[in-house]
Amino acid sequence: MAWDRLDRLNRLLGTGPPASAYLFPEMVASFSRAAARASDEIFVFQYWPESVEAAYTVNYAQKSVPGGSHDLQQWTGGAGRDITFPVVFTAEVSADTRSSLAARLDTSNLLPSARYTVDVRGAVSYINSLLLGSYGKEGQAGGGLNNLASPPKKLWLVLEGTGLGGNKDEVLVILRSASVTYEAWFPNGKPRIVAMSLTFAEIVQRSTEAQGKSSIQFIGREVFERDGGFYKYRGTVDRAMG
C-alpha cells in the first residue's frame, strides 16, 4: 500500500522527462502540411527558462460621482497579456552545424556532451527574423516602397505543463521585443554564450485556411476556470494522498 501511495505521489509531482519550451509559426498548426515540414518549423529553446512573467491588464473606464467615495468602474475589455522570459544559448565547441563536424559530435569525446553545443549565431538570427516583416522573395534582403509587405509571423508559444493558455499549454503570440547580450566568444569571433530577453504579446487574430484572413477569437474566463477548480486550500498532494 505504501508503494502504491508513493507511485501516486511521483506521478502527481510530474517526475519524468524534462518539459520543453518551443515555438512554431501559426500556419504550421492551422494549415495542412507534411509532418516532416512541420517539424522543421519547430524552434526548441536549448534550456528551460529560469523564470516566466505573464502580465494581463484589464481596462476600466472611471466615472466620477459627485459626492461619492469612489469612482464607478465600467469594464471596457482587456488590454492583452505580455509574456516575458529570458533564454540562454551556449556552445562548448565552435562548430558549423552545417558541416560534417556536426555529425561527428555525438561520437566524439567532448565533454559535456554535444547537446550543449548549438549554433548560437543561428539561434539569434532565427529569433531576430520573428521581429521583422518581409518585402520580397525568400532569401532576399529587403525591398523598396513598391514591394508588398507581409507582417511578422504569428507564433504558437508552448511551455509544456504550465497551463499558460488556461486549459492548454500553448498561447498564440507575436514577438514584441528581443534584447541580446553576447556574453562570451570563441577566438574566431563566433558567439559562445548569448543571453536574450524575449517579450511576447498574446493575440486573438487567427488565420483561417479557407479565407486567408484574420479571424478574431476572444479569450474568455472559461478557459481558466476548469483548472482553477482543482485548487483547494489543503493542496494537491493532501487530496491525492488522502
> Each residue's pLDDT tens digit in the chain (242 positions)?
444 555 555 555 555 567 789 999 987 654 444 444 556 688 999 889 999 999 999 999 999 999 999 999 999 999 999 999 999 999 987 766 555 555 554 444 444 445 678 899 999 999 999 999 888 665 566 666 666 788 899 999 999 989 999 989 999 999 999 999 999 999 989 999 999 999 999 999 988 754 556 688 899 999 999 888 877 776 666 655 55
Query: Which is it for strands 155-159 and 170-185: parallel, antiparallel or unpaired?
Result: antiparallel
Q: Which long-range contacts (CB under 8 A, 24 or more apart) does 189-194 make?
A: 190/91, 190/94, 190/120, 190/121, 191/91, 191/120, 191/121, 191/124, 192/90, 192/91, 192/94, 192/120, 193/88, 193/89, 193/90, 193/91, 193/120, 194/88, 194/89, 194/90, 194/120, 194/123, 194/124
| Residue 164 near residue 149 (C-beta atoms within 8 A) | no
Q: How far apart are CA 122 and CA 102, in angstroms?
A: 14
Q: Give the up-direction half-sphere exposure of residue 195: CA atoms within 13 A in the CB hemisphere.
A: 7
Q: Which residue has the cell 473606464?
A: 61
Report pLDDT for 157.
Answer: 96
